[in-house]
Every structure is written in structure tokens, then in C-alpha cells.
């Protein structure tokens, strides 16, 4: 994204706005934050930077004067279109060993990754100093190739 002058986070915003523009949606900053998974305060900061760069327009929402609606400028739509083409090319290149975007192996990988991302991480998020990582129930304990600890 660097050749297009975008960070990864900025790409997330402009690509999302580009897709929403194509469906006639003009989201609020909060809706865009929900859509991208980014924090609302961060989306606000990114939107201001993109506005300064001439890629995004921010306007008060007529239904809620506290909210800001976002849309891409003509230049923003062109940058987003080019960025999406670059990312699509990278995806094709990355997934070529699996047969490309439309291949059944790629679809299976996508399905499996979604399952992993949706899985709860219970017991794996304790970061207190006295916490000791534990193997999931039924998993062997100790390091691979080392004798069990007593």
C-alpha cells in the first residue's frame, strides 16, 4: 500500500468505504469502525488524516448532528480502486499454490480459518504474572521430545 500512500489501516477504511459506496451506503464513523473492527477513536483519527489527504469527505449526519458521515472523494475512489486491484493481485499470487481464489482448497482454507477465528480462547488469555501456560485438556504435557516433568 505504501506506493499508493496508504497504511494498512487507511487501506481498511478506504476499501470499506469503496465497497459501501458501491452499494449506496454512506456510513458514520461509528458504523465504519464496527465494519472494520477498528476502534472508533482510531477511525476518527484515520478519517481526519484521509480527509487532509483529499481522499475522504466528512460531513455531519442530518439524522444525528453528533455523528460524522464518511464518503470517498473522486480521488479517494480512484486510490481505493487501485489499492483493491493490488490486494487482489497479491491474494491471487499468495493462493496460487492452492489453485487460486476459486479453488475448493482455498474455499476449505477460508472456512477453516473462519472457524479458528470464531473459536473462543478461554484459558489462553490469562496474562497475570503468576499464570502458567497449560496444555489443553487431553493434550500431552511437556515439550516435544523431552520426558514428562515430575
Residue 73: the pLDDT is: 95
Instruction: Please give the chain's pLDDT, 150 residues, in tens.
Output: 667 778 889 999 999 999 998 888 889 999 999 999 999 999 999 999 999 999 999 999 888 888 889 999 999 999 999 999 998 998 899 989 988 888 999 899 899 999 998 888 876 655 555 555 554 444 444 444 444 443
| Radius of gyration of the CA atoms of the chain, in A | 21
CA distance linking residue 16 with residue 32, whole number of Å? 8
Q: Quote the pLDDT of residue 62.
A: 87
In our burial notation (b when 16+ CB lie closer than 10 A, e otherwise), range 75-107 reads ebbebbeebeeeeeeeeeeebeeeeeeeeeebe
Domains of the chain with CATH codes = 2-92 (1.10.10.10)
pLDDT of residue 17: 94
Amino acid at each position: 500500500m505504501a506506493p499508493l500512500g496508504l497504511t494498512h489501516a487507511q487501506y481498511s477504511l478506504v476499501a470499506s468505504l469503496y465497497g459501501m459506496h458501491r452499494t449506496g451506503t454512506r456510513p458514520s464513523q461509528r458504523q465504519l469502525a464496527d465494519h472494520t473492527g477498528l476502534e472508533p477513536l482510531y477511525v476518527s483519527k484515520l478519517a481526519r488524516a484521509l480527509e487532509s489527504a483529499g481522499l475522504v469527505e466528512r460531513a455531519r449526519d442530518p439524522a444525528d448532528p453528533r455523528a460524522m458521515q464518511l464518503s470517498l472523494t473522486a480521488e479517494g475512489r480512484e486510490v481505493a480502486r487501485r489499492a483493491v486491484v493490488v490486494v487482489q493481485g497479491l491474494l491471487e499470487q499468495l493462493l496460487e499454490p492452492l489453485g487460486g481464489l476459486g479453488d475448493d482448497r482455498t474455499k476449505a482454507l477460508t472456512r477453516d480459518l473462519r472457524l479458528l477465528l470464531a473459536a473462543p480462547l478461554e484459558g489462553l488469555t490469562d496474562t497475570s504474572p503468576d499464570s502458567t501456560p497449560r496444555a489443553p485438556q487431553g493434550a500431552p504435557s511437556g515439550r516435544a521430545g523431552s520426558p514428562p516433568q515430575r
